[in-house]
Every structure is written in C-alpha cells, then in structure tokens.
Amino acid sequence: MSTKNPDTINGIKLSTDGKSEQKQAIFITDLEEAMMIEHPVRLAIITILSKGIPDKITTKFIDPNSKVSTITTTPTHRHVLSVIEIVKVSQVHNDILNLTRNQVNHHLPKLVAMKFVHRYGTVTTGKRDTHYYRRAAKQYVVTMGTPYYNEKWLEQRESARLERTLKAFDIDLSKKEKTELSRLLTKSEIMKDNWRTKIANLARGDVTEPNITDMYHWLIDAYAMGSQEYLDIHQRIREILFQE
C-alpha cells in the first residue's frame, strides 16, 4: 500500500485548499498586496515554504501469491510545513532571516488572509492538532516598486549583477564605464517596472502553464521594444560592453 503524503504527515486531513492544485504563479498587481508579501518576515516564510524540508515516503507491497511483504523507502522533499518547522528551517539557513515562533504566529495568518499561503491540512495526534501550510503558488511575481524594492535597491542589485558578469566573461571595463552601465541598467529596470502591471493584468485567472513567468518577462521585453528611449539605453549598454 502506498501513500501520496510523506511519512511525517501521513494521515493528514486536507483542507479545501489543500485538495486543490497549487497555482504556477500569482501576479501581484496591487501595491498593498506587494508590500504585504515583501515584508521581511513574510518574505522569509514564503521562502522557507519554497525550500521545504527532507522527508520520505514508505511504500508497503504484499505479493498476492507468496504473501511476502516488501517495504521500500523513497526520499522526498516536503513543502508543506508546520509553524515549528518554519522556525527551525529559518535557523539553519544563513540566507534567511531567523524567525521566532511569535513572529511566525503573527505574520502567517496575514499571508493566509491574503491567500498567499494556504492551510494545507491538519494532523491529529491524540488531543493535539498540528496545522501544515503550503504556498498558494510556486512563484510570486511582484509587478511594481515597493518601499522594499526601490531605486536604491535596484542600483545595488544591478551593480552586483554586473560585477558577477564581468568576472565570468572576458570583458574589461573602466570604473567610469561600470558606473555608467549600472546607471543604465537601473534605468532600464525602472522603465520596465512601469509596464509590468499592465502585462500582468493580461494573465488569465488560474495559471497552469509552468513557464508562465518566462512568458511574462518575454511579453515585457516585447512591449519595451516600442519605446525609443528604452532602445537607446540598450544600444548604449551594447556599446559599453562590446565596444565594437
């Protein structure tokens, strides 16, 4: 006999949301919702649910003729976590904000209320109920700037990305050229930010296409081609990088 759920949550009673298929992507086009999900604690919870934890699935098979039973154990990764597990995961990853139980108990209900996270189901052990939570979508796409995602943050990101690129490819630039390039890349991203919500609003309700975010970014790039200023920026980026 086989179970679809990992051993740790075997026998879980699924909620209505737990029985439904997880969305591929949620496009966030409302500023309040964007600020809600980009809060550092809530973003940490979302990230932890994406990382998940190791688990296993035990399968028992009984041969109908010999009546001999065979038990196999298959490693798996579980993305459905309890509050305690969310806290524990936060404490073993250096790239995630360390969370307390009080923080998770305070912010997790807000994510559930905004439908970014679902209560997946409940495991009952004796008189104790343990609730498990799952992301509502595999990907969240914020389509506008927020206080956590602003021009300064973009400049830092583009500068770091540029440095990584120059290390990986044989492209030698002066300090002045790097500064100009970072500025141009940031301006390009700010321009695209003005179009992201417009494109995201074209997405159909329940997105099941696994490559939906690639398509979304492709549509933004296609839309950007209609701006001469955007084209001029990228022509200058090309000149700096390749100096042909």
Query: Which domains, from first to last, does the chain contain?
Result: 7-138 (1.10.10.10), 150-242 (1.10.20)
Give which of 11, 3, 91, 5 is closest to 55, Cα–Cα. 5
In this structure, the strands spanning 53-62 and 137-142 are: unpaired
In this structure, the strands spanning 53-62 and 117-125 are: unpaired
Consecutive H or E run containing 42: helix 40-51
For the question of whether the overall pTM of this predicted structure is more than 0.85, the answer is no
Consecutive H or E run containing 187: helix 175-200
Q: What is the pLDDT along the chain (244 residues), one digit of tens a residue?
A: 344 789 999 899 999 999 998 988 899 988 888 888 888 999 999 999 999 999 999 888 887 888 788 889 999 999 999 999 999 999 988 888 899 999 999 999 999 999 999 999 999 999 999 999 999 999 998 887 776 667 787 888 888 989 999 999 999 999 999 999 999 999 998 899 889 999 998 887 666 677 888 899 999 999 999 999 999 999 999 999 998 7
